[in-house]
A and B are shown apart, each in its own frame.
Chain A
Amino acid sequence: MLRFILRRTLQIIPTLLVVVLIIFVIFSVVPGSFISSLMSEGRNATNADVMAHLNQQFGLDKPLLVRLGDYLWGLAQFDLGISYRTREPVWNVIEPRLWPSIKLALAAMFFAAIIGIPLGFIAALKPGSMIDSGTMMLAISGLSLPEFWFGLLLMYVFALQLGWLPSFGYQADSIRHIILPAIALGVSPMALLARTTRAGVLDVMNADFVRTARAKGLSEPRLVRGHVARNVLVLVLTTLGLQVGSLMGQAIVIEKLFSWPGIGSLLVDSVAARDIPVVQGAVIVIVLWFLVINMLVDVAYAAIDPRIKVT
């Protein structure tokens, strides 16, 4: 098990290299730089000397390859560089955003799982029934709703009209603040989970070993609990893992909408300002989150399914 985790950790390195490379290439071809974005903020007085000075100060006058090399060298020492905007180390910019982001992703996933998985189960146990078609219609709507619109709707109903919950903002120890953004973010993974669970249950219910369980004279509840649920969980776990992993990146719109101080909104602001070190740092954090979650999913597989051995 330890060897597996170690190996997977090492595998993160090449993935990160590719990610950094892609970011570097993208920002070298898109028009505009941090300096030009400064000018767009109305500081037209910037003259050529100042620009050259700034360029030199940020190392932007060096060739792309040299900058890439410098960055990777820093990364190897866990140094994400210095933010252009705040002149702080990038880690100091990212760190306070990390926990809110993780919290939002986990809360959204929690919501998605406790609603989506039971819905899928209920739908599958009575295929073709009203409950089934109703649930699946709900699921398709959930998948196709634009999340910012759904977020606005939640805000309008629960914050403005009913006044039950705060409409936006973040407070470190407030559960009330996280409910609306978590639901808005979780509705699409919820729909996806409901569909995956339904398909999984139908699949497993047709398996030979379920017929065996019936031949053994088990009651339906015992059959579902003892023979179906775990087998479905193996199938659902994949979707669950991929969703939790990508939720941090997907949260950009929701974070903006609810003024949630997460990695996503930091990423948007930094792209607008061409604060490339922060962009890189944020992307690396999102990628790392994804990889770590997937590693955990693989470990969980091994715990549930005796046929899978992690070595």
Chain B
Amino acid sequence: MSKTVPASILSVRDLRIGIGNQSDLLHGVSFDILPGETYGLVGESGSGKSITGLSVLGLLKRPLQVTGGSILFREQDVLKLNKRERRRLRGDRMAMVFQEPMTALNPLATVGRQIAEMFVVHRGLSWAQARLKAVEALETVHVPAPDERARSYPHQLSGGMRQRVMIAIALACRPDLLIADEPTTALDVTVQAEVLKLIAELCQREGTAVLLVSHDLGVIANMCRRVGVMDRGRLVEEQDTRALFETPLHPYTRGLLAARPRLGSRTISERGRLTELDELVADTQRGRDAPTLVTPRGMLAEAGR
């Protein structure tokens, strides 16, 4: 413990999100991500994990808004930045990959142009120069025949290829932080693994920290060293991934682990349907801090060991 704790690249403190001034969607979430680290946020839909990711980039849609707390990115509170400064960070220092590669790309522009735009906006390159960089970026994400693909429109690519394009866009400016919101949920199982591998490979190479948002514990287990469990707008548990799977502390986490459909598992009941989380976790235990919750600071010390 004597070693100094490295500064986090992202430090979310007591983040509250709500409609109007009531924070009724996110009730004070805190976590830290270290440089180069892949941190997982897991939870069922509606638990607040996606809006947490969006709020870091400043992409919450009205009427949603941050109602309290702070988001420190490279030790600077991005919530205190003006619109222009925040926009400069977006895409350049922090980037995002979304769930739906089918709709996340502009259908009327070539993928090459959509990647090149990053270099034009953030690096001030001309379109011609940027186009060359875009082809390089496509090569980096292992798109075959990148020169030709750069001239394709999104509808001419498969879902997996489109997600690779999204990753190329997100990582074009070598950001410090990548927020991946369910990056593989809309993809075929076979493609999922490839895309995850790609994200892991590129981010490791560039030292990019990743905030991986997913409902899929399998994905989280594969990718992340630490994981935060969210339920009803609260971070109810934060652990090393291995520890989480072995000794989940919060009843909700136990429920989440038990609810994973597995072959021959009991969670598919005799009635032939998936067990609802609600049946596994008592309502009074939902969305409450576990008595044994490891504090983010404590975890940080742990991770920095």
Q: Footprint of B on A, CB under 8 Å?
A: 207-209, 211-219, 222, 226-227, 230-231, 234, 304-307
Contacts and interface: CB of A to CB of B under 8 A. Distances in A.
A216 B95 CA distance: 7
A76 B191 CA distance: 59
Contact of A209 (B57, B90, B107): B107
B88 interface: yes
A215 B105 CA distance: 12
Contact of B87 (A219, A304, A307): A219
Interface string B156-200: 000000000010011000000000000000000000000000000
Contact of B105 (A209, A218, A226): A209
Interface residues of B, number: 28
Contacts of A226: 109, 117
B100 A227 contact: no
Interface string B48-90: 0000000001010000000000000000000000000001111
A241 to B, nearest CB: 18
A215 to B, nearest CB: 4
A218 B105 CA distance: 14
B57 A218 contact: no
Chain A: interface secondary structure? helix
A136 to B, nearest CB: 19
Interface of B: 57, 59, 87-92, 95-96, 98, 100, 103-109, 117-118, 121-122, 153, 155, 166, 169-170
Contacts of A212: 98, 104-106, 166, 169
Q: What 9 A-B pairs are tightest by C-beta distance, nearest first? A: A217-B91, A217-B90, A208-B103, A216-B91, A215-B96, A306-B153, A209-B106, A208-B104, A212-B104
Given A215-B59, A217-B122, A218-B117, A209 B91 contact: no
Contact of B155 (A211, A214, A222, A307): A307
A208 B99 CA distance: 10
A213 B118 contact: no
28 contacts: A207-B103, A208-B100, A211-B104, A212-B98, A212-B105, A213-B106, A215-B57, A215-B90, A215-B91, A216-B90, A216-B169, A217-B87, A217-B88, A218-B117, A219-B87, A219-B121, A222-B121, A227-B109, A230-B108, A230-B109, A231-B106, A231-B108, A304-B108, A306-B107, A306-B108, A306-B153, A307-B153, A307-B155
Contacts of A306: 107-108, 153, 155
B124 to A, nearest CB: 13
A215 B166 CA distance: 11
Contacts of B95: 215-216
Nearest to A228: B106
Contacts of A219: 87, 121
